[in-house]
Amino acid sequence: MSILSVVIPAYNEGAMLHKTANVVSTILEENNIDYEIVFVNDGSKDNTWEEIEIASKANPKVKGICFSRNFGKEGAVFAGLEFAHGDCCAVMDCDLQHPPETLVEMYKLWKQGFQVVEGVKATRGKESAIHKLFAKTFYKIISDATKIDMSRASDFKLLDRQVVDAFIALPERQVFFRALSSWVGFKTTYVEFDVQEREAGVSKWSFKSLFKYAINNITSFTVAPMQIVTGCGMFLFVFSIIFGIFSLVKYFSGKSLEGFTTVILLLLIIGSILMMSLGVIGFYISKIYEEVKMRPRYIVAKTTDDNNEK
Ligand code: UDP
Ligand code: MG
């Protein structure tokens, strides 16, 4: 019988862990699906790890990896997928915002031969207007770059072993799971789900961290910002030629050139475009810098297997 591994990244989810482990295992058992649950404790500051150990003792199918510090969700998902042994692996959030019942649906689709089952958000859940606007812009850029509609994409997916192996073989340090799992290809289908309310704990995303996430993923997926900057430069060049000819004609026809304001304005516009371009180039250089350092994506401090061996 094939095994389904459920990878769950957890950061300060002590309040949710017990419930999540129970709900997921009950649903899978009820549907006669052989499973393992891999919790990845992403350097939580609360009792998440203790809760994982308790859950693992109560049910040996629950396993845990503990990072040495917080490495971020992407690293945690990656670690979970590397650790998982299943014939297919699902990734879901620890806060039950991804309904566990959908796992059964995903598993059935996998049985039918689909290698990637993407959870797409039927509704986006509660978000502020500004959050929605930023999310929309971000996904528009990413969708253009990947040629995949990402507007309703989520991290809730099920991947076949072959896809997992392709994903964990990717050499880049900064793995953007949501887009890369589509990028690797394979036979894909979609399941809609409604984003649930978070039951306990708080969302780890602040505006600042979301902004950083967006910049990071845009720069790792597309060079569109560079192209925009080049476009601006070309536009300004054409404009300056026309303006230059116009000024020269004016000069030679004996009219005096006035326009201190124009000069200041032009200087400011050109100056700020130059600065922005440098910033954009800077983002890409920092990306290269991060990648060439080749630091590990995460560091494991301990796993629940360690306890069994001792
Ligand atoms: N998470 C993580 N590391 C982090 C931040 C979040 O492993 O640094 C996990 C978190 O425990 C949860 C999932 O990623 O299981 C989604 O996080 P959250 O619910 O805060 O995000 P939201 O649902 O608000 O997008
Ligand atoms: Mg959440």
pLDDT digits (tens, 9 = 90+) for 234-282: 888 888 888 888 888 888 887 766 677 778 888 888 888 888 888 888 8
Q: What is the arrangement of strands in the sheet containing 34-41, beginning at the earlier edge strand?
A: 188-194, 116-123, 153-160, 88-91, 3-10, 34-41, 62-67, 300-303
Q: What is the mean pLDDT of the chain?
A: 86
Ligand positioned closest to the Cα atom of 198: 2
Give the CATH number, domain containing residue 65.
3.90.550.10
Residue nearest to atom 8 of ligand 1 (CA): 72
Q: Are residues 282 and 172 in the same domain?
A: no
Q: Has residue 214 been placed in a domain?
A: no
Tally of structural domains, the chain: 2
Q: Are residues 47 and 153 in the same domain?
A: yes
Q: What pLDDT, on the 0 to 100 scale, is given for residue 25? A: 93
Alpha carbons 95 and 71: distance in angstroms, whole number: 18
Residue nearest to atom 18 of ligand 1 (CA): 203
123-127, 205-209, 295-299, range with greatest mean pLDDT: 295-299
Q: Residue 64's domain spans which residues?
A: 3-201+296-309
Q: Are residues 9 and 76 in the same domain?
A: yes
Cβ distance 154 to 121 under 8 Å? yes
Q: Are residues 263 and 300 in the same domain?
A: no
Check pLDDT > 70 for residue 38. Answer: yes
Alpha carbons 144 and 227: distance in angstroms, whole number: 13
Q: Report DSSP letters for 108-142, one per residue.
A: HHHHTT-SEEEEEEEE--S--HHHHHHHHHHHHHH
Question: Ligand 2 center to residue 204 CA distance, Å?
Answer: 8
Q: What pLDDT, on the 0 to 100 scale, is given for residue 308? A: 57
Atom in ligand 1 nearest the alpha carbon of residue 72: 8
Task: Return the best residue to mutate from 196, 199, 204 for the ligand 1 pocket (most ligand atoms within 8 A of CB).
Answer: 204
Question: Ligand 2 center to residue 81 CA distance, Å?
Answer: 19
In percent, the amount of the chain with pLDDT more than 70 equals 96
Q: Has residue 121 been placed in a domain?
A: yes
Alpha carbons 223 and 218: distance in angstroms, whole number: 8
Q: pTM (2 decimals)?
A: 0.80
Q: Are residues 230 and 102 in the same domain?
A: no
Q: Are residues 256 and 182 in the same domain?
A: no
Q: Are residues 50 and 185 in the same domain?
A: yes
Q: What pLDDT, on the 0 to 100 scale, is given for residue 216? A: 81
1-5, 147-151, 156-160, 246-250, range with greatest mean pLDDT: 156-160
Q: Has residue 68 been placed in a domain?
A: yes
Q: Has residue 211 been placed in a domain?
A: no
| Ligand 1 in reach of 167 Cβ (< 6 A) | no
| Ligand 1 in reach of 155 Cβ (< 6 A) | no
Q: What pLDDT, on the 0 to 100 scale, is given for residue 164? A: 94
Cβ distance 83 to 38 under 8 Å? yes
Token pair for 245: 């000819």
Q: Are residues 177 and 30 in the same domain?
A: yes
Query: Which single residue is written with the structure tokens 């958000």?
Result: 121
Q: Has residue 96 been placed in a domain?
A: yes
> What is the predicted ipTM?
0.93
Burial of 72 (0-12, 13-18, 19+ CB in 10 A): buried
Q: Are residues 55 and 12 in the same domain?
A: yes
Q: Are residues 161 and 254 in the same domain?
A: no
Check pLDDT > 80 for residue 148. Answer: no
Token pair for 190: 């979609």
Alpha carbons 253 and 243: distance in angstroms, whole number: 15
CA nearest to 223, candidates 148, 292, 141, 167: 141
| Ligand 1 in reach of 84 Cβ (< 6 A) | no
Atom in ligand 1 nearest the alpha carbon of residue 97: 23
CA nearest to 59, candidates 306, 310, 304, 309: 304
Q: Has residue 207 been placed in a domain?
A: no
CA nearest to 186, candidates 107, 110, 121, 120: 110
Question: Ligand 1 center to residue 95 CA distance, Å?
Answer: 8
Question: Ligand 1 center to residue 73 CA distance, Å?
Answer: 6
Question: Ligand 2 center to residue 207 CA distance, Å?
Answer: 15
Select the more confidently predicted residue: 100 or 134.
100
Question: Ligand 1 center to residue 257 CA distance, Å?
Answer: 61
Q: Has residue 113 been placed in a domain?
A: yes
Burial of 79 (0-12, 13-18, 19+ CB in 10 A): buried
Q: What pLDDT, on the 0 to 100 scale, is given for residue 125? A: 65
Strand 116-123 versus strand 88-91 pairing type: unpaired
Q: Is 1 helix (H, G, I), strand (E, B) or coil?
A: coil
Atom in ligand 1 nearest the alpha carbon of residue 9: 7
CA nearest to 145, candidates 49, 226, 48: 226
Question: Ligand 1 center to residue 139 CA distance, Å?
Answer: 19
Task: Return the best residue to mutate from 7, 11, 124 for the ligand 1 pocket (most ligand atoms within 8 A of CB).
Answer: 11
Q: Are residues 60 and 119 in the same domain?
A: yes
Q: Are residues 172 and 196 in the same domain?
A: yes
Cβ distance 193 to 120 under 8 Å? yes
Indicate if the alpha-carbon torsion angle 242, 243, 245, 246 is positive or negative: positive
| Ligand 1 in reach of 51 Cβ (< 6 A) | no
The residue-averaged pLDDT of 171-196 equals 83
Question: Ligand 2 center to residue 68 CA distance, Å?
Answer: 22
Q: Has residue 77 been placed in a domain?
A: yes
